[in-house]
Amino acid sequence: MRYEQAVEYLESLVDYERSTAARVWNLDRMRFMLERVGQPHRGLRAVHVAGTKGKGSTAAIIASVLQAAGLRTGLYTSPHLRDFRERIRVNGAMIPQRDVARLVTQARPIIEAVPTAALGPPSFFEAHTLIAFLYFRERECDIAVLETGLGGRLDATNAIEHPCVVVITRIALDHQAELGSTIPRIAAEKAGIIKPGSIVVSSPQVQSAWRVLTETCRERSAALHGVRVKQASGRKPLYRRLLPEKRKASFVLEQVDSGPDGHVFNLSAMGADYRDLRCPLLGDHQLLNAATAVGALHLLGRRGVSVPEDALRRGLAAVRWPGRLDIAGRKPWVILDGAHDEISARALAASVIDLFPHRRLLLVLGVSRDHDIRAVGSHLCPIADSVIFTSARLPRAASPPDLTQILADMCPQHREAPTVAAALDAALAQAGEEDLVLVTGSLYVVGEAMERLEARRTHRRALRAAD
């Protein structure tokens, strides 16, 4: 099987990330496939990450530090921006095309042997998870960082049996049709990755989510370690209402400095004191992710995974996570961010205003129709001088006319563009050097914007060469 054929086969499987098909929830398909390929997940040391907000960034930070510590590190994340090979990495490098072709050839008979009448059809995500486990075993990874796709309890990655550390990032309302309509129900799904005897580190949570995590850890004899934010004098309050309370916190985060180059922060960590840590990821929300990641890395020592402080500093400073407050251009600023819900949109709006001085803000917005479009628009439209509504290439995407109907009253200056590429071209044509073009609403929108920007750069290079 050639690489192109492997991609075509994978894309033929049901893709719940892009489609509106009803999910068939269970772990039995994943266990069936893993058993028939020799249980590649068993014996793999892993950090398992779930949550609503920031789980990808947190996973990327942990992997970057583990790599800096000299460990061969697998990283499994989703979704991808441009190339699905982004989901499966070892020491930062995407799985090669030849290995995708070979592993899909190996896995296809197993995928097709799943008794679909009893278990339901294998999904695109499950096939990728299977390939990731096979690849990490082949590469003899010392450790892998696994990000859940959706939820946790029935997520394909939850086939992992004894993770070294479990990480729960901030929990909020999202994917309510699949996970539940309340924070406690969603938290219970995320907490499903907590195994008996686990070591768990949690980002600051709202009270109802923290209560669920506490109860789950008590029932499963798991050790729960929380992150608390210490409010620095003279700085704006940072997530003041999130738990754990002071007496429950194993890790205490103190913001030192933040700006367009990232953050400097201190973290008190159960007797250790990390001072002046530097993280290049932008936005105050990334402080929580960085602190949670450092907490997980600190706790890995209890599982025999040593992370020297110099590796912690180097890996944290080197982390990259595209598509999240991503600076794709200057003069004008071009900022790409995959914010797709109210919490992300609120954080994005605040960060853009704080970090990027500009004359006008031109917003390119595309949102999936199964998300709360009005909540997203309520934070982004008021900061924009003009808005272009657009749509990514996926069935779940709301059409530009739908976005206009829902958000027109918030966006007096608006227009529609049928594709992300057309919307971005229109915004850049309108923007002056002192303006800011913000592309957001979905990681799929961001991925298509990246494709268009690369095409524009290639075209400019060709014109210069012709001259």
CB 230 within 8 A of CB 252: yes
CB 444 within 8 A of CB 392: yes
Which numeric CATH code is attached to 3-318? Answer: 3.40.1190.10
Secondary structure letter of residue 195 according to DSSP:
P
Rounded to two decimals, the pTM is 0.94
Q: Which residues contact 348 (CB under 8 A, 6 or more apart)?
A: 283, 325, 337, 339, 379, 380, 438, 440
CATH pick for 326-466 out of 3.40.1180.10, 3.10.180.10, 3.90.190.20, 3.40.50.1970? 3.90.190.20
Sheet hosting strand 165-168, strand order edge to edge: 93-94, 88-90, 73-76, 143-147, 46-50, 165-168, 199-202, 223-230, 249-259, 262-269, 272-279
- Say which residue the tokens 């086939």 belong to: 159
> For the packed helices 124-138 and 97-113, what is the interaxial angle rounded to 10 degrees?
120
pLDDT in tens, the chain (467 residues): 899 999 999 999 988 777 666 677 889 999 999 999 999 999 999 999 999 999 999 999 999 999 999 999 999 999 999 998 999 999 999 999 999 999 999 999 999 999 999 999 999 999 999 999 999 999 999 999 999 998 899 999 999 999 999 999 999 877 655 666 799 999 999 999 999 999 999 999 999 999 999 999 999 999 999 999 987 656 666 665 676 766 678 999 999 998 888 999 999 998 899 999 999 999 988 999 999 999 999 999 999 999 999 999 999 999 999 999 999 999 999 999 999 989 899 999 999 999 999 999 999 999 999 889 999 999 999 999 999 999 999 888 999 999 999 999 998 899 999 999 999 999 999 999 999 999 999 999 999 999 999 999 988 888 888 87
pLDDT of residue 15: 82
Domains of the chain by residue range: 3-318, 326-466
Domains 3-318 and 326-466 share a fold: no
d(CA 298, CA 256) in angstroms, rounded, equals 20
